Every structure is written in structure tokens, then in C-alpha cells.
């Protein structure tokens, strides 16, 4: 096992900066997920760990060793790609053993590792089959097994579930999480799917446009996003945003916009003077909205349900409110129908506020810097 450290690492392709001054410490035994939209630099960062991309500047360490100029085969890593990349003419057993044979590992040691890997990922009864005789989920497990037999210091996984259907993704997601708990090896996992990131990662690193936005546990990113991008990217369905104007001071401070009038949350009233007259972005999650007429420490509004998606226990409501398109997740017991005008309530302690120019979160300990 080992730590992985990006120390001001930058990767450029000509004039294009793919990863910009990345500072990130991945702890020994941690499951770190790199997440973000396409082109954000997450896969490039993973490939730099693997040695498949050269570093333009900065230092990359695996454990205590600087690996900027170390060949991929000498980095003590194992990588699982989006493509299974199995040898079609070989059995599962031979696919698992092939890399070890190339490294001249003794036959008895190969047999031990293959058996242990097959037991770990539940492939023992499939060792004599060829890839064409396996399901997609089984093929992905073989690809995982081929990494496991290496017994590396670091596992690297580049969107390994994207070729699976929805049910298999959920199943294999749980298998990889259990695998990490069992092996305790450092894992770096790349995905664009924030649900995968939230359910699997010990910590998550959110990237956008080559820049690291925030690093933290899933709950930290969900409850305390540092900016509008992280707030909108983490959580499914995405956070609702509305542009509002702040007015008043102290307990009378209020946020108003088309169809919305929200008291400034108590935790932010100390900052009321600094936001007075400013345009802010209010953010609130669909699951924090509920049907009701409000009350103490609640904001209330009425909106029209345009589309209702029945999800069994819940309903996903697509709402229209004087130019705002909002989403709410409520209990299906409410039996909302398209066209209904519904009263909603939002706990003020679930409201997030962001600078309309920089996107930075506004907190009671973070002064507001934007202009009106």
C-alpha cells in the first residue's frame, strides 16, 4: 500500500492545459474518487499516476518515491480500464495469470494468487470459461481480478462500470466497495457519475476545467459545497438555483426574486449588512423541499407541477415558478398530478447562498466580495 501525492502537477498539450496546478494527497488505503464532467482532467490525472502521460511540471510521488520519470511497469500500480481488454482466446484462469507469467513469477505463486483473486471476486467456478461465455459483469470482474493478482501498491480504475447496464452497475459498484474493504489497498477511481462517487469514495475530488474544486468526504461535499459548481454537480437530482436580491438587515433581512421571498437564514444574518442590495444565487436541493404551508425557520412558495415522475416511494416533480424551473422530490403519498398548484416549504438551514459573480459559497465566516 502507498500514498499518492500530486505536488503542483500540471499537464499541458501544447497551449491547452488539461490539469492545472493539482495539489492532492491520496492517503494510504484510501478509496479516492476523481469526479467531474468530460474534459475536466480526471482521466489525465489518473493516467499521470499510471505513467501513461508525461507530467509537464510539478512532482508526483507514490509512497516516498518520485515517479515523474519512472516507467509504468516499475510503479507498482495496476489499472482497470473502461474496456475489459481481455484476451478472447484465453480462459479466465489464463487471463488472470498472463501478466504474472510475463514477469516470471514462479508457477506456484501464480496459482496461489489466481486462486485467491478468483475467490475474492467470486469467479472460482468460471476459471475454465473464455470471455465470450461470460456476461458483461463477469468480464468486468475478470478485469478486476487481473489487477488484484498483481498485488499492487495502488489500484487505478478508469470508469470501469460505464459499459454495464444500470442493474449491473449497482451490483458491481457494491462489489468494488467490498473489494476495497477486504484488501485495504489504495484505490483511485475515475468517473463522471456523481452517484458512483458518492456511494463508493472515502473521499471525493471534484474537478472542472482542469482545476481541483473541492476535496472531502461525500457528506462534506453534499452538505458544505465550496462553490456553485460543486453544489450543482454533487447530488441527484441536481440542486435548484434561483437568482435573488438581498434587502434589509438583521432579523428583517430577506431574499426576493420572481415568485420567491425567502428570509435570510439565521446563520447568515450576521452577514446581512454586507449582502444588502446584492444579487445572490440561492441553492436548495430537491429532496429538501416538502409539501406544506411553511412555519418557523421555513421558506414557503407555491409552484405549478408541470411533469410528475412516479418513482414508487417518491415522486419527482418538475415545477414552474414565474420563470424558474425547479425540481422537488416528495412522497408519492401526496399524489400530485400535472397541472396542480402546490405549496412547498424549505427549511432555512438547508438553503445555500452563492456569490453571483464568482460562484463561491457565502458563509457567516466568509465575507461577501461581489459587486451589485
Instruction: For 265-317, write each residue's pLDDT tens digit.
Output: 888 877 767 788 889 999 999 999 999 987 788 999 999 999 999 999 999 99
pLDDT tops 50 at residue 371 = no
Instruction: For 185-220, write each residue's pLDDT tens digit.
Output: 999 999 999 999 999 999 999 999 999 999 999 999
Give how far Cα 215 sits from Cα of 176, 201, 315, Å: 21, 11, 32
Angle at 353 between CA 352 and CA 358, to 5 degrees: 130
Kindly state the cell numbers that stand for 148.
Answer: 488484484
Instruction: For 335-344, write each residue's pLDDT tens digit.
Output: 999 999 999 9
Q: Which CATH architecture has domain 238-355?
A: Beta Barrel (2.40)
Most confidently modeled of 29-33, 85-89, 133-137, 178-182? Answer: 29-33
Q: Which CATH architecture has domain 4-232?
A: 3-Layer(aba) Sandwich (3.40)
Instruction: For 321-332, write each residue's pLDDT tens digit.
Output: 987 899 999 999
Which residues, including other chains, have CB under 8 Å from residue 174's CB and lie 6 or more apart?
Answer: none
- Quick one: pLDDT at residue 8? 97
- Quick one: pLDDT at residue 213? 97
Instruction: For 233-275, write each residue's pLDDT tens digit.
Output: 999 999 999 999 988 877 788 999 888 889 888 888 777 677 8
Q: With beta carbons less than 8 A apart as the criterion, state whether 134 and 126 touch.
A: yes
Region(s) of the chain under CATH 3.40.50.300:
4-232
Angle at 229 between CA 274 and CA 355, to 5 degrees: 10
pLDDT band at residue 364 using 50, 70 and 90 as cut-offs: low
SS3 content of the chain, % helix, strand, coil (to 5): 30, 35, 35
- Quick one: pLDDT at residue 265? 86
Which residues, including other chains, have CB under 8 Å from residue 334's CB and lie 6 or more apart?
Answer: 291, 315
- Quick one: pLDDT at residue 122? 82
Region(s) of the chain under CATH 2.40.50.140:
238-355
Q: Which helix (H) or strand (E) holds 136?
A: helix 136-148
Map grid coordinates 444574518 to a residue: 269
Amino acid at each position: 500500500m502507498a500514498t499518492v501525492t500530486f505536488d503542483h502537477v500540471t499537464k499541458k498539450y501544447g497551449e491547452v492545459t488539461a490539469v492545472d496546478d493539482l495539489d492532492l494527497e491520496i492517503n494510504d488505503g484510501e478509496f479516492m474518487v476523481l469526479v467531474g464532467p468530460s474534459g475536466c482532467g480526471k482521466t489525465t490525472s489518473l493516467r499521470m499516476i499510471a505513467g501513461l502521460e508525461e507530467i509537464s511540471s510539478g512532482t508526483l510521488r507514490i509512497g516516498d518515491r518520485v515517479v515523474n520519470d519512472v516507467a509504468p511497469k516499475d510503479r507498482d500500480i495496476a489499472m482497470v480500464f473502461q474496456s475489459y481488454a481481455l484476451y478472447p482466446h484465453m480462459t479466465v484462469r489464463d487471463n488472470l495469470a498472463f501478466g504474472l507469467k510475463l514477469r516470471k513469477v514462479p508457477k506456484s505463486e501464480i496459482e496461489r494468487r489466481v486462486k485467491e483473486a478468483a475467490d475474492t471476486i467470486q469467479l472460482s467456478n468460471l476459471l475454465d470459461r473464455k470471455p465470450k461465455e461470460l456476461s458483461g459483469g463477469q468480464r468486468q470482474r475478470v478485469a478486476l481480478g487481473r489487477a488484484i493478482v498483481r498485488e499492487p501498491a495502488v489500484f487505478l480504475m478508469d470508469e470501469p462500470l460505464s459499459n454495464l447496464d444500470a442493474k449491473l452497475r449497482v451490483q458491481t459498484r457494491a462489489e468494488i466497495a467490498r473489494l476495497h474493504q477486504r484488501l485495504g489497498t489504495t484505490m483511485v477511481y475515475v468517473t463522471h457519475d456523481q452517484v458512483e462517487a458518492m456511494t463508493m469514495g472515502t473521499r471525493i475530488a471534484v474537478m472542472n476545467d482542469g482545476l481541483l474544486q473541492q476535496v472531502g468526504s461525500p457528506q462534506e461535499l453534499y452538505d458544505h459545497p465550496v462553490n456553485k459548481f460543486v453544489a450543482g454537480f454533487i447530488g441527484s437530482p441536481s440542486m435548484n438555483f434561483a437568482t435573488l436580491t438581498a434587502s434589509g438587515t438583521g432579523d428583517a433581512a430577506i431574499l426576493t426574486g420572481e415568485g420567491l421571498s425567502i428570509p435570510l437564514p439565521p446563520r447568515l444574518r450576521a452577514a446581512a449588512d454586507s449582502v444588502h442590495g446584492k444579487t445572490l444565487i440561492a441553492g436548495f436541493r430537491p429532496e429538501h423541499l416538502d409539501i406544506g404551508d411553511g412555519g418557523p425557520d421555513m421558506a414557503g412558495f407555491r409552484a405549478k407541477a408541470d411533469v410528475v415522475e412516479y418513482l414508487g416511494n417518491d415522486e419527482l416533480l418538475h415545477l414552474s415558478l414565474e420563470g424558474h424551473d425547479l425540481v422537488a422530490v416528495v412522497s408519492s403519498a401526496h399524489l400530485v398530478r400535472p397541472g396542480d398548484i402546490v405549496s412547498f416549504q424549505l427549511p432555512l438551514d438547508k438553503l445555500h447562498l452563492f456569490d453571483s459573480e464568482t460562484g463561491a459559497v457565502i458563509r457567516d465566516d466568509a465575507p461577501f466580495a461581489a459587486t451589485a
